[in-house]
Amino acid sequence: MTNRLLIEIARPFVRAFSKRCEKDNRYVIEAALHKYVDKNEKLCFSCNLKSKILNPFISRTASSMGISDKNLEWALKNKYIRDAVACAVEGVGDFGFLEPAVCLYLMVWNFTKLCNFKCPHCYENAGAAHPNELSIDEKYMVVDQFVEARGRHIAISGGEPTIHPDFKDVVKYIKSKNLLVSVASNGSRFCDERFTKEIAPYLTFVQLSLDSPFAEKHDEFRNFPGSFEMVRKAARNLNEYGVNVAYAYFVSKSSLPDIPGMIELAKIDGVDLVLYDYKCVGRARDMVSEDPTPKEREKLYDYLCSFVKGKQKKEKPMVYVIHPRYGVKTIEHDVPQFQASHFTPYEIPEGFGKAKMIGSFIGGCGAGTKKIDLEPDGTLIVCVNMPIPLGNVRETTIKEVWKSSPTLWKLRDRNNLKGTCRECEYVKSCGGCRAEAFGYTGDYLESDPSCILVNPSGNYKNLEKTLFE
Ligand code: SF4
Ligand code: SF4
C-alpha cells in the first residue's frame, strides 16, 4: 500500500484526534508525540489511550521519511518541533496530503504601529499608533480565535510592541493557552532588567534588531544614540533569564560587507542571527536601490552555507535567512542546518530524513500554507511583507479566513505560480518569496525576481515601472 493511500485511510482518525484537551491544556496529537519520547509524561486517561493508538503511526511515518529513531527522539523532545509536527499532522487530517502541507502554525502579529524609533527600512511604516487599533478585549478575542483555528505560535512584532500598555497582559494570556510566544523588538524595554525578569518566563524567543556590528553605524541608521549598547544589554538580560535570543540584521547592498562582522558579534554575545533580506514594502520602498542583486544574494547564501558547514554543531550562532531560496541552497550544499522554512528555529542533525522531501512538505515560503499575519487594526493579511487584506477579525474569524480565503487557496497550489518559479524543480520546497514577486510586479503569483534562476542579469529596473506606479 502506498504512503499516500495509507494517509487517506488514516485521515478520519487523524481528524478525530485533532482536538484540544482542556484537562491537559494542550493538543492531543502533541501530547501523544510527547508521550512517545517521554514515557513519564503525565497525561489524562483519554490522552494516554490516544497516545497508545497513535504510537505505531508515528514510528511508521518517520521511518518512511528516512528519519532514524534517534533523530525522531531528538526532534520530539523539543516542544517547538513537536508542536510543528502535530500541527502538520492535523493539517493532513483537515486538508489531505498536499505539497506543501497546509496547516496554520504561525501568526505574525503587528501588535501596534506605535514605535519609539523611525527606521528607514520599516515594513510597517511605524511611528504613531494606528487610530483604530484593537482594544485589549479584542486582543484576547484574537488569541481565542487563533486557538480555535489550532494555530501554535504567535510572533509579536510592530511597531515596537513592548512599549504598548497591553503587551504584558496579552503575552501572559497567549502563554496561558500553552502557545509559543516570540517577540521582535528594538530592545528598548528589554534593557530594563525588571521588565525582562517579569516577562521572560512567558517568552520562547526574542529577536532584537541590530543593523551593524559597529556602534556608530547602528546608532546612525536607527537615529538613536546609544541604541547599539542598549540592544546588547537587552540580549544579556534575556540570556540571563533563559530566553533564546537572535539579532535580526537587515540585509541591503550597504550592509552586505558587514555580515561576517555580525556573525562574529553574535558569537561573542551568545545569540543566533536572523538575516532579513531587503523586501520591497513599507518605508523600504523608498530605498529600492539598496536591494542586493540576485547574484549578490547567491554569493551570500554560498558564504553562509560554508560557514554553517564549518562550525561545530552546538556553536552559536545559528543563522537563518528570511528567504526560501536559502533553503534550496542548504539542500544543494547538504549542510546539517537545513532550513526548510524561515520558521525552523533549530538545527536539524545530520542524516535527519530526506531534506528535499521534508522541504516539499514544509514548503519554503509559508504564505498561505503555514502562516497568516495580523495588522494592529485587526486586518488579517497574507504576510507582513505582502500586506494583502483577507478580512478583519472584528467581522470574521481566523479559522474562517484560513479555510476559505480564495487568495490563500491560490497561493497553496504551486501550479498557479508563473514563469521560472512554476517550472523550477524546487517549486514545492521553495516557491520563491511571494512578497518579492508582489513588491516588484504587483502580482503575488509571478516569479520571484530576487532569485538568480529567475533574474540572472540582476536587473530590477525593468520591474520598477510597476513598483512606482
Ligand atoms: S526559481 Fe523560484 S522556486 Fe526556484 S529556487 Fe528560485 S525562487 Fe525558488
Ligand atoms: S512571502 Fe516572503 S517573507 Fe512572507 S512568508 Fe513567504 S518567503 Fe517569507
Q: What phi and psi, each to the nearest 5 degrees, are found at residue 273?
A: -135, 125
CA–CA separation, 273 vs 263, rounded Å? Answer: 7
Which amino acid residue places its CA nearest to atom 1 of ligand 1? Answer: 421
Within 8 A by CB and 6+ apart from 39, the residues are: none
Classified as helix, coil or strand, 96 is coil
> Are 429 and 362 within 8 A, CB to CB?
yes
Rounded CA Rg of the chain: 21
Q: What is the pTM of this model?
A: 0.91
**Residue 382 Cα, ligand 2 centroid: separation in angstroms?**
9
Ligand at minimal distance from the CA of 424 is 1
pLDDT of residue 353: 56
Ligand at minimal distance from the CA of 297 is 1
In terms of C-beta density within 10 A (0-12 exposed, 13-18 middle, 19 or more buried), how is residue 92 classed? buried
Distant-in-sequence contacts of 115-119, Cβ < 8 A, 24+ apart: 115/158, 115/159, 115/160, 115/163, 115/186, 116/160, 116/163, 116/186, 116/188, 117/160, 117/186, 117/188, 117/222, 117/223, 117/224, 117/227, 118/223, 119/209, 119/211, 119/221, 119/222, 119/223, 119/283
Torsion of CA 158, 164, 166, 170, to 10 degrees: 40
Q: Which amino acid is at 82?
A: R
DSSP for 12-44 reads HHHHHH--EETTTTEEHHHHHHHHHH-TT----
Ligand 1 site residues (CB inside 6 A) read 325, 328, 420-421, 424, 426-427, 430-432, 448, 451, 453-454
CA–CA–CA angle 414, 422, 294 (5° rounding): 115
CA–CA separation, 382 vs 366, rounded Å? Answer: 9
Q: Ligand 2 within 6 A of 434 CB?
A: yes
Within 8 A by CB and 6+ apart from 69, the residues are: 59, 62
Task: Give mean pLDDT in consecutive 10-residue pieces for the chain, a chain of 469 residues.
Answer: 68 84 90 91 92 84 77 84 86 86 94 82 74 96 96 93 97 96 95 97 96 93 89 98 95 94 96 90 82 93 89 81 90 76 58 66 89 97 95 98 97 96 93 93 93 86 51
Q: Ligand 2 within 6 A of 266 CB?
A: no
Reading the block at residue 12, the C-alpha cell is 478520519
Reading the block at residue 299, the C-alpha cell is 554569493
CA–CA separation, 119 vs 388, rounded Å? Answer: 23
Burial pattern 34-66, b for ≥16 Cβ within 10 A else e, equals bbbbeeebebeeebeebbeebeebbeebbeeee
Q: Which helix (H) or strand (E) holds 185?
A: strand 180-185
pLDDT of residue 147: 95
Q: Ligand 2 within 6 A of 376 CB?
A: no
pLDDT of residue 347: 57
Check residue 130 and report its DSSP letter: P
pLDDT of residue 19: 87
CA–CA separation, 251 vs 379, rounded Å? Answer: 28
Q: Ligand 2 within 6 A of 322 CB?
A: yes
> Are 318 and 337 within 8 A, CB to CB?
yes
Which residues are registered as beta bridge partners of 127?
114
CA–CA separation, 328 vs 326, rounded Å? Answer: 5
> Are 441 and 466 within 8 A, CB to CB?
yes
> Are 256 and 438 within 8 A, CB to CB?
no
> Are 183 and 162 within 8 A, CB to CB?
yes
Reading the block at residue 167, the C-alpha cell is 503587551
pLDDT of residue 342: 66
**Residue 341 Cα, ligand 2 centroid: separation in angstroms?**
9
Which amino acid residue places its CA nearest to atom 6 of ligand 1? Answer: 451
